[in-house]
Amino acid sequence: MKIVRNFLAALGFLTRLGPVATDPDMAGCVPLFPVVGATLGLVLTVPLALGLFGGHPLAGAFVYAVANLALTRGLHLDGFADVADAWGSLARGERFFTIMKDSRIGAFGGMALVVAIAGQASFGAELLSSGQVWLLAAAPVAGRAAAVALMRACADIPRPGLGSLCLPGATWPNTLFAVGLGLVCLLAAGGLRAAVWGTVLGGLTLWRLARLARQNGGINGDFLGAAIVGCELTTLAGGLL
């Protein structure tokens, strides 16, 4: 079935949990990004829910953050750092994207990586301490739903690369499905308060990323990675407010 092929392709592209597809239908994979997030979230969280590092929430959250990094090959964190470097440079237009594509990490990118990993570990530890373990599973879903929403918001300004192959898949029906799945998971995992705060904080993150993309004339895969990491963090933070 095509949906199974697209799911496996998306799983292999976004994580180490699936086979690496040759010439995948990237646009067809887009609505399944949050489903991949749900798969990843369960793999990361079920061991903690079953008692791994029970009584040691900081250790459990640290393992969660490192496992998330390992299972995604650092793909999204790389985008998060690249966008931070380009943003911090105050460059505009083509210079902005030149800095973003530089393989060398700058000061702002380094700081962004610390914020992301420390944020996952510290927020995760607080959630584990308060018994809200399933929000750790919902965060990867919300992050990938946010990436689809950002694609929809910036579908008219693609930049060359894998990101541009994904953008056509962010149709309104696909976006509504992705965002709806993210909201359902947030509600199920953390209740109404966590869902509201996660949505508000995630919405502000997406608004800022979309504005930055339009100021510089395009969106690429790094922006999508930044949306995933940023909205994973806002989901975890929202569960504590």
- What pLDDT, in 10s, does the model give residues 82-94? 999 999 998 899 9
Whether this prediction's pTM lies above 0.85 is answered by: yes
Q: State how far the Cα of 140 lies from the Cα of 33, in Å rounded to an integer.
A: 10
**pLDDT score of 160:** 87
Tokens of 223: 């922006």
Where do we find the tokens 């109404």?
Answer: 192
Q: What is the pLDDT of residue 24?
A: 81
Q: Are 90 and 22 in contact (CB under 8 A)?
A: no
**What is the model's pLDDT at position 103?**
85
Dihedral of CA 13/141/156/116: which sign? negative
- Which residues of the chain register pLDDT less than 70? none
End-to-end CA, the chain: 42
Q: What CA dihedral angle connects 232, 236, 239 and 241, to 10 degrees?
A: -100
Q: Count Cβ atoms below 10 Å from residue 141 Cβ, excluding itself.
A: 30
